[in-house]
Amino acid sequence: MIVVEDIHVTFGRGTPLEKHALRGIDLTIPEGEFVTVIGSNGAGKSTFLGSLAGDVLAEQGRISIDGTDVTRWDTPRRAGLVARVFQDPMAGSCAALTIEENMALAAARGRRRGLGLALGSDRRRGFRDRIAELGLGLENRLHDRMGLLSGGQRQAVSLLMATLAGSKILLLDEHTAALDPATADFVLDLTRRIVRDNRLTTLMVTHSMRQALDYGDRTLMLHEGRVVLDVAGDERAGLDVPHLLALFAKQRGGVEISDDSLLIG
Amino acid sequence: MGASVCPFKSTAMTEIALFGAIEIGLVYALVAIGVYLSFRILDFPDLTVDGSFPLGAAVCAVLLIAGVNPWLASLSAALAGAVAGLVTATLNVRFKILHLLASILTMIALFSVNLRVMGRPNVALLMQDTVLTPFYGLGIPDHIVRPLVVGVIVAVVVLLLARFLASEFGLAMRATGVNARMARAQGVDTDGHVYAGIALSNGLTGLAGALFAQTNGFADVTTGIGTIVVGLAAVIVGETVLPARALALALIGCVAGSILYRLAVQVALSADSIGLQASDLNLVTAVLVAVALILPRLKAKASRSAPRNPSAAK
């Protein structure tokens, strides 16, 4: 469970470029819920995810994960609780390391890393079994460097890596945005499966309103650092993209949406 | 034929020169491995080695003169080098000084520190026991004993380091250099790994300095000049002759590169026809490293432009 109480984040305070990116977000996400997050460019989606992961520390407010106050924890410390997949397939894994080395890195998330071998034969076998689940034939390529994989394959392995250390929270930052449509669908289906099988509490940032409504149990819309829409259950099931656009327009004070960064498809 | 035509003065000279080159190559192999750790694994261009090499030599020489056990003196030299590395890492990680500049600051400070440690610009080791002393009386010529002993030490270092880099801690260190953001998201304390890696790199360099002092019989503040370039040259030569992805092989490549580099220098300096003298060493090294850095770029450019030529494609 994630509890967020009135968090504020300001970049470049006291400079002409000062940006109040998060302006008081209050949110409770129960265990196992899959939340999709939408909003235009600069709405604070990535900053919000970053503040949950520890990349950005909130200057005000409180964040607790599974009852532990993590507000002041940095990224490595939170990594034991939180797994992530980034937008850029290159960002979430080490291209120069092999697939199995990447998996070993992820499997040690949240543990002390000692001088024991990172890749014993038992662990190798375990990785082989886990990666076979993806159905991509990667079980025979464990020694290949991660950089040799396609973007979709890397995102698929990154998703798998997110489950290796048993953390219960998954943060997805537009993790299909850099992929072609067919690959994006494959990765989204895999996401759904992995989230369900591991009962992960998930936040998925997306640019696509369609995706936001099709996947998950609850949808948040951010605008100018605030949550302006929070729908779940029957209300959400009755929503379609045009409704969402209308709701969004209303939140902006009746101004028609001209921001093409909000994809309708 | 006259001696002026032959590259070597006599066969006896050849053998001594050959083993001398291997010996100095093995000593600097530890520097090469240290440079490989900082430049290649951590992606941290660290010039501290120009100071930590003579620091190791100075600490070892002074302790030997004080009657300390040679192994303990060598270990102390390694520790002194590691502390120098920690200073650089602290300047960079904690105080956000650019890595290159941080290492230059440490390097320049170490020049004064080394003078303080020795109390004078150089210290001669004449009668002192060294780690080599027990092996001199075994009937093997001295010029072969030295590379043998240093070679065994280097082999042990390579084995330990290869095992270290295959550990969970070592893997996290490699990830820190490749993709720090990903490493942090996987819970790796990247700052801690930079401290550890730069300390280890300079520790090895300090040990190399200690072995240099013991094999050559002196420590001198000026021996550090160009250490980084020699180390880098060895790494690059090693990567050229042994282009391996496996880490253990890459470490062996550093050792091979260091020896080959010294052999090449020996040949160049011995061949009278080229007209080089010992004082040209730094110039030759700098040119060698520059060429080795430029060549891959030119090669890539050539292979990129080739397919664009339609007549070449048909």
- The CATH number for B276's domain is 1.10.3470
Residue A262 confidence (pLDDT): 56
Q: What is the pLDDT of residue B11?
A: 44
For residue B164, the Cα-to-chain-centroid distance in whole angstroms is 19
**pLDDT band at residue A6, thresholds of 50, 70 and 90?**
very high
| pLDDT above 90 (res B79) | yes
pLDDT at B49 over 90: yes
| Arithmetic mean of pLDDT, B279-290 | 82
Nearest Cα to B63, choosing from B54, B55, B53, B73? Answer: B73
Task: Answer whether residue A180 shows pLDDT above 60.
Answer: yes
H/E stretch holding B87 reads helix B70-93
How far apart, in whole angstroms, are the C-alpha atoms of residue A109 and residue B189?
A: 11
Chain A partners within 8 Å of B178 (Cβ):
94-97
Please indicate whether, in this complex, the C-beta atoms of B185 and A104 are within 8 angstroms of each other. Answer: no
The domain ranges of chain A are 2-97+148-251
Q: Is residue B313 part of a domain?
A: no
A61-117 per-position pLDDT tens digit? 999 999 899 999 999 999 999 999 999 988 999 999 999 999 999 999 988 999 999
Q: Is residue B309 part of a domain?
A: no
ipTM strictly over 0.90? no
pLDDT at residue B246, rounded to an integer? 86
* Residue B168 lies in domain: 11-302
d(CA A94, CA B181): 10
Predicted local distance difference test score (pLDDT) of residue B5: 43
The residue among A75, A160, A164, A171 with the most chain B CBs within 10 A of its CB, best to mutate, is A75
Determine phi and psi for B219, rounding to 5 degrees.
-125, 140
CATH classification number, A2-97+148-251, choose in 3.40.50.880, 3.50.50.60, 3.40.50.300, 3.40.50.920: 3.40.50.300
Place of tokens 């995706």: A211
Instruction: Give the C-alpha separation, B83 to B39, whole Å.
Output: 18
Distance set, CA A5 to CA A53, A64, A67, A93, A222 (Å): 15, 9, 13, 32, 16
Q: Chain A interface, mutation test: which of B167, B168, B193, most A Cβ atoms within 10 Å?
A: B168
> Least CB-CB distance to B175: which of A80, A94, A111?
A94
Per-residue burial over B104-137, b if 16 or more Cβ lie within 10 Å, else e, is bbbbeebbebbeebbeeeebebeebebbbeeeee
Residue A42: left (phi > 0), alpha (psi -120 to 50), or beta?
A: left
pLDDT(B311) > 70: no
What's the pLDDT at A100?
A: 95
Decide if pLDDT at B148 tops 70. Answer: yes
CA dihedral B131, B135, B141, B147 (to 10 degrees): -40
Q: Establish if B6 belongs to a structural domain.
A: no
B304 at interface of A, judged by CB pairs closer than 8 A? no
**In whole numbers, what is the pLDDT of chain A averaged over residues?**
89
Total of domains in chain B? 1
Indicate the pLDDT class of residue A222, thresholds 50, 70 and 90.
Answer: very high
For residue B15, the model assigns a pLDDT of 86
The residue in chain A having the minimum alpha-carbon distance to the alpha carbon of residue B178 is: A94
Distance between CA B252 and CA B162 in Å, rounded? 10
Please tell me if residue B190 touches chain A, with a CB cutoff of 8 Å.
Answer: yes
Position A253 scores a pLDDT of 62
pLDDT higher than threshold 90 for residue B314? no
Given this model, what pLDDT does residue B8 score? 44
In the predicted structure, residue B308 carries a pLDDT above the cut 60? no
Q: Residue B269 pLDDT > 90, yes or no?
A: no
B187: chain A residues, CB-CB within 8 Å: 76-77, 79-80, 108-111, 165
Q: What is the mean pLDDT of residues B273-285?
A: 79
Band (A254; pLDDT cuts 50, 70, 90): low
Q: Parallel, antiparallel, or unpaired for β A169-173 and A201-205?
A: parallel
Q: Both tokens of residue A3?
A: 């509890």
Give pTM, 2 decimals: 0.88
Q: Which residues in A lie closer than 8 A to residue B188 (C-beta atoms)?
A: 76, 79, 105, 113
Mean pLDDT calculated for residue range A213-232: 91
Averaged pLDDT for residues B74-92: 98
Position B307 in a domain = no
Extract the tokens encoding B90: 């602290």
Chain A residues with CB-CB distance to B under 8 A?
A: 53, 75-77, 79-80, 84, 86, 90-97, 101, 104-106, 108-111, 113-119, 145, 161, 165
Distance in angstroms between the alpha carbons of the first and the last residue of chain B: 55
- How many Cα neighbours within 13 Å face the side chain of A172? 37
Q: What is the mean pLDDT of chain B?
A: 89
Given a cut of 70, is residue A263 above it in pLDDT?
A: no
* Nearest-neighbour CA in chain A from B3: distance (Å): 52
pLDDT bracket for residue A2 (50, 70, 90): very high
CA–CA separation, A193 and A203 (whole Å): 15
Asked if B175 reaches chain A (Cβ–Cβ under 8 Å), the answer is yes
Output the pLDDT for position B6: 45
Give the one of A86, A109, A114 whose C-beta lies nearest to B187's C-beta.
A109
The mean per-residue pLDDT over the stretch A181-191 comes to 93
Question: What is the reported pLDDT for B73?
Answer: 98
- Is A100 strand, coil or helix? helix
CA–CA separation, B253 and B260 (whole Å): 10
Radius of gyration of chain B (CA): 21
Contact B249, B242 (CB under 8 A): yes
CB pairs under 8 A between A and B: 86
- Helix, strand, coil abundance in chain B, percent, nearest 5: 75, 0, 20
Q: Is residue B1 part of a domain?
A: no
Q: Which range, A46-55, A177-186, B197-206, B218-227, has the best average confidence (pLDDT)?
A: B197-206
| 8 Å CB contact of A84 and B166 | no
pLDDT at B3: 40
Residue B119 lies inside a defined structural domain of this protein: yes
Distance of alpha carbon A193 from alpha carbon B219, whole angstroms: 65
Give B186-211 pLDDT, tens digit per residue.
999 999 999 999 999 999 999 999 99
Does residue A247 or residue B162 have the better pLDDT?
A: B162
Question: Could you tell me the two tokens for B306?
Answer: 């080739």
| Secondary element (H or E) of residue A8 | strand A2-11
Most confident listed range (A10-19, A226-235, B150-159, B290-299):
B150-159
- Domain assignment present for B225: yes
State what percent of residues in chain A have pLDDT above 70.
94
> Considering the domain boundaries, does residue B310 fall inside one?
no
Apex B114 CA angle, B112 and B118, nearest 5: 120
